[in-house]
Structure 1
Amino acid sequence: MTDKATQLSTLLAPTVESLGLQLLGIEYLPAPGGSVVRLYLDVPDAEVETRHVTIEDCEAVSREVSARLDVEDPISGNYTLEVSSPGVDRPLFAAAQFARFAGERAKVGLKLPQDGRRRLTGTIVSVDEASITFDVDGQPIVVAADNIDKARLVPDWAALGFAPARDLPGGDARPGKPGRKARAGRARED
């Protein structure tokens, strides 16, 4: 996270927690016409199996966070506030979040190049306070946690039921579409 995102996270986490939710992280995207402040919410770890972030949760957080930002005024100029659940391609902001998803695949952007690359996609193997180890094409790559600019989980579309149909006679290989038989043209009877 950027310094501004870290500052905003420290300021807003208590407000989010007071509503029974967890602030996963904040993206702060400055722009000349107005910045974007994007908050990602989740339910507390103890409730992950029984509850999900709802639209009503996002609306409540948006109202409370807007009021807090109006009082504290930590952002100069115009900004747009976006409040979201993490989604299937969940962003990862902290080492503890990587640890929670050990064994899952993640797409990672680095602040500084490492081993000749600025991006990598690999399986999260292990995590400690200072680094995260990924398996990238069978090779372990250890990345310093503070060198990670952005990271997201890579959804397992097959496990979610959205993998392309394969090996079906006449099947349609588009994601999310069940296999279909090709229609043969019909001769018109007059």
Structure 2
Amino acid sequence: KVAGIVEPVINTLGFRLVRVRLSGLNGQTLQIMAERPDGTMTVEDCELLSRTVAPVLDVEDPISGKYHLEISSPGIDRPMVRKSDFSDWAGHIAKVETSIVHEGRKKFRGRIVVGDADSIVIESDQISYGNEPVVRIPFDLISDARLVLTDELIRDALRKDKALREGRIPGDDLGDGRGDESTEDNQEAASTESEEK
């Protein structure tokens, strides 16, 4: 429900919603992750979103009780929530959890080989106990997925960030064009808090 309320506001400001998560029991935190289309996000962007989204949430009142509003960027080891995230980050290592047992387990880790309309293919980097080295995971079974912080991911992110700062389009001359993250500006440290009344 919260995503349906805040996404139009976020989109109007030129950002895209990455994830909404409510955590905590007594001291609840509503985390809204967003980014610009080019993957960047500054502290000032977080402040702007917080000042704009907080009043809308106060009026709509989708959460009972008090909570802290946290606006943040996805960071370099970002959660993967859209189908396009998997194709955008193909070649990088991800951790994927499924909602039910699939291929004898619920947790997978490996290189994203391909993402298509219905599933992703992971090439395991930790083969053990007879697990298949390549696993196809249907999207509707994925409960959580995120990139794993590796030297390769950091290098790609730095190249992308440099290209953005120099005004080039990421992927034009950066090898395979994976990813769209800024490193310095996309740390989850960029967050602000607000309390519901």
Note if 1:37 corresponds to 2:37.
no
The residue aligned with 1:141 is 135
- Output the CA distance in 1 between the equivalents of 2:118 and 2:27: 34
CA distance in 1 between counterparts of 2:149 and 2:25 reads 33
Distance verdict in 2 for CA 1:129–1:28, change over 3 Å: farther
| Partner residue in 1 for 2:168 | none
What pairs up with 1:105-120 in 2 under 5 angstroms?
Answer: 105-120=93-108
Deviation of 1:160 after TM superposition, in Å, equals 3.2
The 1:129–1:8 alpha-carbon spacing in structure 2 relative to 1, beyond 3 Å, is farther
- In the alignment, what sits opposite 2:115? 127
The count of corresponding residues between Structure 1 and Structure 2 is 149
- TM-score by structure 2 length? 0.69
Conserved in 2, the CA contact under 8 Å of 1:90 and 1:153?
yes
TM-score (norm 1): 0.71
Q: Is the 8 A contact 2:76 2:154 kept in 1?
A: no
1:171-182 superposed matches below 5 A: none
For residue 69 of structure 2, what is the amino acid of its counterpart?
A: L
Question: 10-19 or 52-61: which moved more?
Answer: 10-19
2:62 aligns with 74
Q: Which residue of 2 aligns with 1:8?
A: 2
Amino acid at match of 1:39: I
Residue aligning to 1:93: 81
CA contact (8 A) 1:22 1:42 kept: yes
Equivalent residue letter for 2:134: P
Separation in 1, partners of 2:29, 2:97: 20
Question: For structure 1, which runs of at least 5 residues remain unmatched after alignment?
Answer: 1-6, 162-190
**Unpaired stretches in structure 2, ≥5 consecutive residues:** 128-132, 156-197
Give deviations 1:133-159, integer Å, cap 9, x for gaps: 111147221112121111111122366
SS, match of residue 32 in structure 1: coil
Distance of 1:145 and 1:159 partners within structure 2: 23
- How many Å separate the matches in 1 of 2:98 and 2:149? 20
Using CA pairs under 8 Å that are at least 6 residues apart, name the structure with larger relative contact order, 1 or 2: 2
* Gap change, CA 1:143 and 1:21, over 3 Å in 2: same
Whether contact under 8 Å (1:37, 1:82) holds in the other structure is yes
Runs of 4+ aligned structure 1 residues displaced above 6 Å come to none
Using the TM superposition, give the Cα deviation of residue 40 of structure 1 relative to its aligned residue in structure 2, in angstroms: 1.2
CA distance in 2, matches of 1:143, 1:8: 28
What is the rounded CA distance, in whole Å, between the counterparts of 1:132 and 1:27 in structure 2? 23
